[in-house]
Every structure is written in structure tokens, then in C-alpha cells.
Amino acid sequence: MGRVNVRLDDLPLRADLRGLTPYGAPQAALPVALNVNENTHPVPQDVADDIMDSVALALREVNRYPDREFTELRQGFADYLGHGLTAENIWAANGSNEVLQHILQAFAGPGRTAFGFAPTYSMYPLLTRGVGATWIAGTRDVDFTVTPESAAEQVSEAAPDVVFLCSPNNPTGTPVPLDVIEAVYDAAPGIVIVDEAYYEFAPSGERSALTLLPGRERLIVSRTMSKAFAFAGARVGYLAADPAIVDALRLVRLPYHLSALTQAAASAALRHAPTMLRMVDEIVAQRDRISATVEALGYRPYESWSNFVLFGGVDDPRTVWQGLYDRGVLIRDVGIPHHLRVSAGTEEETTAFLDALASLGSAT
């Protein structure tokens, strides 16, 4: 039977989804890909061997449904996070995006709103609209920070059902101080999510929002294994919150949503957390090297507690992006005028990016 080609607009799509574009970044087989904030260091071989052994064991019973409550994995996350958390405080899903989707399914939806300070992670509005809720964008200062006073005022005025605080923020890399989180929580009538996807790259000793959880039953701290744990391809995200929040998420999750193979792989990786996290120091060193060098070239790097650097002062981002592309280096135009973002790679990848950028001439 021949194919019938129709346009998206010809389908009975939900009205609120018309005109939207799916999330995604350019994918190209270039020698140096520094555009999606991946951990460019591979999983160490001894850890990979243990993960493969664990997955092989799980395969022996793959004819059975997995542990619906992923008990061992939740305990592993609780042990890793510390702060007196138990398995009852933990939830996990296929990537932090699914974790956030579960939260929105439970606490947002039609007739409700979600709020974030723009620019921020572009999946937040997409996930919000996907559950039929309305996205409200707040504002940041010119340096992409937000003060407790401004944050509380904006949240109080919007009165959203869900607030997203990305800390450190993507795509800017800037931290969200704990006093801002406290001010937002006090002003918000609903759920407050602190997305700490890049927390492991913050300066040593900086307090996590996990320290704010006691006594704040509407506060959620989400994390991911994609970044510091070099597990982007495994798709594992998780959160810590009051056990009542976890009960609410059980209402919306699909049955057996975490496969036995995913649970086995993630649990094995967590057993090697110190080894997996050793690469963080190297990534931070390359991040700081990027910041220093792009500043020397006349650009403006922003303070970053993540594994990437946003830099401004780019007269023509498209031309610079294309120039780097032509030299085998892929970075990200995140849509902020006169800015580009680059992930911190290995020493060799970082050198390739900096050399390519320098070959295009300085910003001044």
C-alpha cells in the first residue's frame, strides 16, 4: 500500500501543541561534540565490567516483571545522597525529565500553572505544556542571577502550582543560593522543585538544597546520573522529597516503569560512586580553563557551577557556531542573543575547541 503523506497540521493535534517544536540539539558526527553537556569521559573499565555483570544477572529473570518499587536502587540513591534520607524519600525514573514529568502529572495539569526564571532549561515549558498546564516565565537580572526579594515577589504574584529552580541553572551555569530557594518556598503556594542535575560540579563544600528538605513537605530536589556519573545513555534520574510526595508520584507513573536492566545498571554504578566521581575534578579543571581562555579572547564567561560555560560578547553567534562546526567542533546556540554555550570536554577536546575559537579571531 502506498504511503499517504500528511502534514502535522492535518492531524487532530491538541490545540495547545500546535506550533511547538520538539526538544533537541543538533546532532552531527564531528570529532569534538561539546553541545549537550554530556560527560565526555567514558565509564571506567572496572566499573563497566561490574555493570555488565549485574545486567547479565538481571537478564536471567527478564521474563518476569521488575521490582515495581525498585527497592535496591532507591536505597542506593539514599545512601549516596546522605542527609538522613531513606528509601522512602526517593523516587526514580527514566532520566530526570521523566521524574519532572511525573511531578507535573501529579501536581500540574489543565487549569494549573508552572513557573521558572528565564532563561532556564528549555524542557520545563515543554513538559508543562505536555501535561496541559500553562507555563509562566519569570525574569532574571542581566547577569542571569535572581535575588531572594525579586524571586519571592515574582512567585507570589504568579502563585504557580509548581516552581522550577534549576541550580546551577541551565543554560547559564549560574548557581541559585539557598536563601533564594527559601524565599521562593515561602512565597509559593505549591510544589517547589530544585533541579540539581549539575550539583556535583559545584565548588567543594557548597550546601545542597537537600539540607532544606526537613520541615518543607512541598520541596523536591531532583538529580540525574547523566552528568557526573557519565550515564546519559542509561537514562536514570531521581529525586528526594517527603514520602508523601513519593506516594503522589505512584499515582501517575506507568506500571513497572524502570526496567530490571536499568535498575541493575544504575545500582551497580552507584556502588562505584567514588570512582565514577573522580572525573568531576578533571571536568571542572577544563571548565575553568575554558572560562579563563574565552575571557582572554575578549568574550564574557559567566560564573559556572556546572560542566559547561555560557559566554557572551559574541557579535554574530551563528557565524562563530558555523566557524567552529567547519573546524570539527560542535557547541550550542541556546537562543540567548550574542551568547554561545560549550560543554567542558576532555583536555584534548577542550584544546580543540579553544584553538578553533582562537582561529576565528578575538571578540574585540
Q: How far apart are CA 101 and CA 115, in angstroms?
A: 14
C-alpha torsion sign, points 358, 312, 340, 232: positive
Give the residues of the chain that fall short of pLDDT 50. Answer: 1
In this prediction, residue 198 carries a pLDDT of 97
Name the residue with cell 536514570: 236
Q: Looking at the DSSP assignment, which residues form a beta bridge with residue 163?
A: 115, 192
In a domain, 2, yes or no: no
In a domain, 91, yes or no: yes
In a domain, 252, yes or no: yes
Q: What is the pLDDT of residues 85-131, one digit of tens each?
A: 999 999 999 999 999 999 999 999 999 999 999 999 999 999 999 99
Whether 196 and 344 share a structural domain = no
Domain boundary among 271, 294, 314: 271
Does residue 64 fall inside a structural domain?
yes
The whole-angstrom separation of Cα 99 and Cα 361 is 43
Phi-psi group of 144: left, alpha or beta (phi > 0 → left; psi -120 to 50 → alpha; rest → beta): left
Q: Tell me the DSSP string of 184-227.
A: HHHH-SSEEEEE-TTGGGSPTTPPPGGGG-TT-TTEEEEEESSS
205 and 188: one domain?
A: yes
Residue 63 in grid coordinates = 521474563
pLDDT at 3: 66
Q: Are residues 150 and 257 in the same domain?
A: yes
pTM comes to: 0.94
Q: How many domains does the chain have?
A: 2
> What's the domain range around 34?
23-43+278-359
* Residue 71 and residue 105 share a domain: yes
Chosen domain end from 222, 245, 271 = 271
Q: CATH number of the domain at 50, please.
A: 3.40.640.10
Note whether residue 4 is domain-resident. no
